Structures are given as structure tokens and as C-alpha cells.
A and B are shown apart, each in its own frame.
Chain A
Amino acid sequence: MAGTVAAGASAEPKAEQKTESPALRLLRRWGTIIVLLATAVGFALASPYFATISNANNILFSMIVSALVSMGLTWVVMAGSFDLSVGLTVTTSSIVVAFLIPLVGPWAAIVLALASACVIGLANGLLVTYGRLSGIVVTLGVMFVLDGINVFATGGYQVAVSYSESAFLYIGQGKLGFIGVPVIIMLVIFVLAQLLATRTRVGHYVAAVGDNPMAAFYSGINVYRWVIVSFVLSALMSGVAGIILTSISSSAQPVGGQGYLLEAFAAVFLGATVLGKGKPHILGTLIGVLFLYLVNSGMNMVGFPFAARQLFAGLVLIIAVGANAALNREELHLKFI
């Protein structure tokens, strides 16, 4: 080629990238994971019961609902919006399935519970796009609406699932070898979501829309469609979490789903720092959840009070995200959301 341009102006930014020391790059890519491993090693040294297969199993089991909700939320944050209704979507699908099992049988109940979750996601997505409302406002509103409906429908009491529904209860309480069935479901969904996010058009376009909707629009991408898809995926994964929750506890609780919301946001933003991506991704989120629950379990074993666990999790979140931002410094920072 006669006139291949090395693009004159490129010399400078390239040089800038090159000057990043290997240590710094290592820290940015692996920092979060190094901290995670160091924490785990610390707990293992402090408590002989921490680094055991049974404790690993416990940690995984305790994080199932949170992991599913967080991975769902990851889609919406990837698309550039917020979903505050994830916690209540768990509660709703949990109640729907518990309600419907005596009426239509477990399998139809599961399908209908997932369908109701999808309807919530679809409503969120349509209001945010065609309705031109902000994601925070819409999902905050939907959150309150769902809470109202749930308490109203149940009268504030739990909805029990009969112990004779052994097939349904196997979902949450069964075991394959020594691993719980819900843990396997969680891992399978993680693999599917990870593939969907990294290997398909869906993940590709959701990420493009979230990063620069204008560029996506001019590239002929149906921006609204992918925002809606992200909300439906979020709700769907919260729906699965709700069904598993009902199966684990043989009942649906009308309140308490709220707690998953803040945990999910912490996991998503912590996860964004994993591998130095600076953007939420499914694998990162799973690692984020793992970190939160690992700390929980470890501090519990070493004997720290709950308050200390909260404090530690909060500090780690701020330091991880802060360190990541410092390492990916942008010239002009004018975003405060």
C-alpha cells in the first residue's frame, strides 16, 4: 500500500498508553480479584472452618438469590439505565408461584411467575423508552406499586407451599451429590447470561446502547428495543430468583425483597472494576456478589458483628470503584450519577 497512514496525531495518545507501567496495568486488571483472594486467604488463616468445601458450599448457597438479581440488574446498568424494582420483582414472582401452585400445578405456576416478571420488565422498558421517563423514576414507581399489590394480595401474611409439592421443593432444596440444585441453576444461568452478553448480538448491542446511544442510533441500531430487552432480562432473572426463594423456604414472604436491591447495586459496581473494564459485566457481577458473601461468611466466622461487615463491604466498594476511576482517569469528569 503506497500511502498507509500511521495517523500522525496518533503518536501522542499511543505514547501515553505505553507509559502505563506494567504494575499499574496489573493492578487495574486484577486489583479487585487480588483483594478478593487476599481477603479469602486472610479468613482462611484466621479461621480453620473458612477454607472448607462445606463453607464454600454455604457461601454459594447463601448468594443464589442475590447473584441472580445482581446479574439481572447488570443488563439494565449496561444499557445505561437503573432498575430499582428488582427486589420487588423477586417478591412478586415468589408470591405468584406460591399462589398458583395449588391452582395450576407447579410447572404452569413457574411459567406464569416468569411471565409476570417479564410483564414487569416490559412495562419498565416501555415507560423508559416510548414513555420517555427516567429509569430511576419509573422503576421507583413500579417498586412501590408492586409492594402495594403484594401486601394487598397476601394481606401481609406469608403464602405457604404444601410439603407435598416435592418436585417444586426439589428446585430449592434438592441436591446433586453434595451441591445444591439451586446452586447449579444459578451457575447454569450465569453461563447462559455470560454467553448472551459476550458472544451474541444481544450483549453487543446492549453495551453499545449503554455506552453511546447516539452512536448506536446513527449506526442504525434500534436503541429502544435493546433498552427494553435489558429491562426484560433483568426482571426475568429476578423472577427466577423469586421462584427459587419460594422453593428454598417452602413459602413466599410478602416483604423483604427490598434488601436484594442495594446488594445488587453494590455487586454490579464492584463487578465493573473486575478485570479493569470500568463497565458492568456479568462475570464481574458474579465475582462482586461472591466477594460480598465471602466477607459476610468470613467475618461471621472470625466473630465480627454484623455492623463491622457492613462497614467493610462499604469501604471495599468505594475503594475499589475509586481506585478504578483513578486508574482510568478521564480528562474531564462531569458525571455525578
Chain B
Amino acid sequence: MSDQPLVEMRGLEKEFAGSKALRGVDIAFHRGEVHGLLGENGAGKSTLIKILTGVYAPTAGQILLDGSPVRIHSPLDARRHGLGAVYQDAELVASFTIGQNILLGNEPGHVVLSDRAIHDEAARILNEIGVALDPRRSAAGLSAAQMQLVTLATLFHRRYKLIVLDEPTARLSGVESEVLFRLIARLRGEGITIVYISHRLREVQEICDRATILRGGLVSATLERGEITEERVTQLMVDRSRTDLETYNDGHARPEVLLEIDGLQTDLLAPLSLTVRAGEVIGITGPVGGGMEQVAHALGGVTRHGGHLRLRGRAVDVADPVAARRAGIALIPEDRRKQALFPALSVADNICLPVLRSLRRLAMIGSREKLAFADGVMERLAVRPRNAAAQVRFFSGGNQQKVVIGKWMGTKASVYVFVEPTSGVDIGAIKEIYDIILHLARDGAAIIVVSSSLREILALSDRVLVIHDGALVSEAPKAAWTYDALLAVTMQGRHRRTA
């Protein structure tokens, strides 16, 4: 390891619409080290990485590569500098074979490609990293974990100096994670720097040489291998200065049980049983990709699942989103733009979509009724600007989220399932969204909030569930949790008595 760091970031700042995600970060990645990056949601990890890989441009500060300043304008640019990243949702070319995917962009030979050379090379790589997949098998039909392994295999072939791995084990099982760790060890042996982002502390302890903890857009500390302990990390991660949002759910739960979940399971979720009372807010947290999202997707009818649901004592089947809507389950997904909104349609069109039937007059839908209805919803949710005819894409993240919620309010859903309800929402609007959620609870809806933000979970929930590696590891009333205890459980995946 030479003294000069491979990549050094100095005074890096990034501002999004008035709020600072990074407030002067100094960080150095050395050649051949595995550098862990830890931090709460919103601490600035992903912003930092996106600046490093050319997705965002920094507001201030500079990046030095081998001691000389560089500007990274695009992901392609970053690649040219030898900086690569594997994102959480790896993409493959489905019609290609595994081998063709592994060597995509780096095929041996010049103009003419040899099918055999590609698959021989791919077989060698797969064998070397210990993944038993047939390189000639089509990439279509691979499981999420297998896709992740194939994506990791591609790293082997591309000559990177630094590789960012963003929650790489989120979709891997224990054995598969071992493959990943061996691969990391190999890359490290070749002098390649690895930046390793994970919420799983055990992994960070196991493989990282150093770990930097981010807190509120600043570097909290960089720890050497031996210093990475649960106590220290928790202490450094929690932003004591951050004023807690004044939202606190003091309980609106009514005695009657609204939703009974019995043995709900998916490919990535062990059977889970749960009862939710009217007015109760259940918080579900855990590492991203650890199975908590599965609960939401299953309830919304998006993912194939097993188990039984009873709503107000009546059995319901949510085989698909239409059935879920009929049953009165509203899923407010994480990716608003892709999964919940029609960005080019007006707010009125978005809000009225599920209730068009009731706005109908003589089989025609009056635009005046639509605007009036939407305006009413916008008033209740304080959507700004209050212009029901404007296209949704021109609204801020927070106001878009309100529109998504508003879309379901008209349907009189009795169960609301929120996934990361405030991700990408400007800070000012977070409290408003929380108030809306609690308002729904007060009106007697059963609410499930799936979130990786522990503050959010603690602010909103009556009861908190932690799901880790697809299984429920802990369930307790909110009062039983402290922030630090909850953080420890989500990172370690086992319950530690907080006595």
C-alpha cells in the first residue's frame, strides 16, 4: 500500500434543492483496501458513491485520482478512470447466455467473436470464483441471487482500480455470500480497492480493513479493522444532534382486529403471521433486501405468495394488484415514479384513477368533477402547488408522495402498506407525510410501514418487527425499543437484550 491514496475526496459537498446531503466530506480510499462505508439512511452514503461514479456532480469539493484532480461526468467516464460499481439491482441481458453477459463489452478477439472463446473464458471465471453455473445457460430465468453472482463475475473481467459494492449481499444467501467474500479477497490481493456499503455489521467486521462512518453528511470517523465494534459503530452512526421530528404516534389502535396475516410467505420470506388492529401502525424494518419489502409486495398482490389473509374476519385472496385493490389494501410503493404515478398525467388524473367509477355520470367522466374531487384531496393533504391540472412530474418528491397517498384515500382502503414513505422526500414534507399516515390510523385504517429508516419506524409505529435474511427476528411494542437497540438488531440480525 503506497502512501498516496488511490482516490481522495476533499471537501465534497452536495446540495439538493436547498438541503445539503453532503456537508464537506473528506475521505481517502487506499490501493488494495476493503473500505466499509456505514451510515444511517440519509447520511450521504449513496450520494457520495453516485458522485464517485459520475451519476451526480458535486456542488463543491474535488476528487483526486492518484493525486491529480479529475472530473467525472458520467458512469462511462468513471469506467474510463477505472472506477466501477455494482448497483443493488443488477441488470443483465436476458436473451444472452450467462457467459455472454459476463464478458459483455470485453469479449476476446477483435471483430469476429468466437462463441467458444467467450464461454471458455466465462467458465474459467465462474470456476475461479467458485460459482457452479453453466455459462451456456440463458440469463433469462435466473434467480435474483444468481443474477447478482453473474454481475459479480463480470467485475472479475473488467480492469477496475476501484469497485463500489452497494449492499451486495442483500440478495445472496449465506453460501453465496461466501463466494462474494472470496472474490473480494482475490480482488484485494490484486491491489484493487473495494468500497463496501452494507447495513450488516458482521460482514463489515469480517472483510473490511477500514470503515468510514457517515453521519448527517459528514464523516463521523474512520475506524481501523480492530476498532469496528458494535458499540463504537452505533455510537458514531447515530446523529444525536439531529433534532427528532416532533411526530410521535401515541397510539390510535382500537380493540377490533382488522387484518390477520397467517403464514404469509414468498420465495424470499419465511412464513410470517401477524395481526393488525384498526388504527394500529406496524413498523417493519431490517436491512434493505432482507425480506421486509416482500411483506409489502405480497400484500399488494405484486409478488407471488402463499399463506392466508383475513380482513375484518373475512378471508381475502390478493393474487394480483386488482384483487388487492378490491379487498381494500392500498400499496404505496417505494419507487413512486415507476410504480405509482403517471408522471405525464395531471394530478387530477392520478388521484381519480382508482375512483373513476364513482365519478361517472351517464357513463362519461366529467373533467370538472375530476378536478373538484382532486382539489378536495389536495386540500386535505396540503399538496402544493394546489393545481389539480398540472402534470405530476413537475411536483417535488414530497408532494408526489402525497398524490400517491391521495390516490388511495378516495378508495376508502382499510389497509395501507407504505414502503419507504419518505425516501426522496424533502425534509420539510416528511412531517406532513407522517401526519397524513397517522391521520389515516386515527380514522381506523390498519397501517403497515416498511422502512429502513429507524427514526421513521420509531416515530410512526405502535409495534416494530425486524426482518433479517427473510425471517422475523424480533417483534416488540415500540416502547420496548431504544434507537440503539433497534439499530443493533437490524445490523446483527439477532436480538440482543437491552437490559
Q: Interface of A with B (CB < 8 Å)?
A: 1-10, 12-13, 16-17, 199-202, 204, 207-208, 211-212, 214-221, 277-279, 331
Contact = CB atoms under 8 A, between A and B. Distances in A.
A211 B95 contact: yes
Interface in B51-93: 75-76, 79, 87, 91-93
A5 B154 contact: no
21 contacts: A2-B130, A3-B175, A5-B130, A5-B132, A5-B149, A5-B175, A7-B145, A10-B143, A12-B267, A17-B141, A201-B111, A208-B93, A208-B100, A212-B93, A216-B104, A217-B76, A218-B75, A220-B106, A221-B105, A277-B95, A279-B95
Contacts of B146: 7, 9-10
A218 B96 contact: no
Contacts of B113: 199-201, 204
Contacts of A211: 93-96
Q: Tell me if A's interface is mostly helix, strand, loop or mixed.
A: helix
Contacts of A16: 141
B175 to A, nearest CB: 5
Contacts of A208: 93, 96, 100, 104
Pick the most buried of B100, B104, B182: most chain A CB atoms within 10 A of its CB: B104
A226 to B, nearest CB: 11
B244 interface: no
Contacts, number: 106
Q: How large is the interface on B (under 10, 10 to 19, 20 to 34, 35 or more residues)?
A: 35 or more
Nearest to B171: A9
Contact of A220 (B79, B93, B175): B79
Contact of B76 (A2, A200, A220): A220
B179 interface: yes
B107 A201 contact: yes
B107 A204 contact: yes
A199 B112 CA distance: 6
Contacts of B175: 3, 5, 8
Interface string B103-119: 01111001111000000
Interface string B163-184: 0000000000101101100100
Contact of A7 (B87, B91, B143, B158): B143
A218 B87 CA distance: 10
Interface in B257-297: 267
A16 B138 CA distance: 14
A12 B143 CA distance: 9
A4 B111 CA distance: 34
A279 B96 CA distance: 11
Nearest to B320: A332
Given A5-B179, A200-B113, A212-B94, 15 more contacts: A3-B178, A4-B132, A5-B132, A9-B267, A10-B142, A12-B267, A200-B111, A201-B112, A208-B96, A208-B100, A211-B95, A212-B93, A215-B91, A216-B104, A219-B105
A322 B402 CA distance: 41
Interface in B111-155: 111-113, 127, 130-133, 141-146, 149, 154
Contacts of B173: 8-9
Contact of B91 (A201, A214, A277): A214
Nearest to A214: B91
A12 B267 CA distance: 10
A4 B132 CA distance: 6
B104 A215 contact: yes
B91 A212 contact: yes
Contacts of A279: 95
Contacts of A331: 304
B91 A6 contact: no
A5 B94 CA distance: 22
A9 B144 contact: yes
Contact of A9 (B87, B93, B145): B145
Contacts of B110: 201
Contacts of B75: 217-218
Contacts of A2: 130
Contacts of A3: 130, 175, 178-179, 182
Contacts of B95: 207, 211, 277-279
A138 B141 CA distance: 35
A9 B143 contact: yes
Contacts of A13: 141-143
A219 B96 CA distance: 14
A334 to B, nearest CB: 11
Nearest to B149: A7
Nearest to B114: A199
Contacts of B179: 3, 5
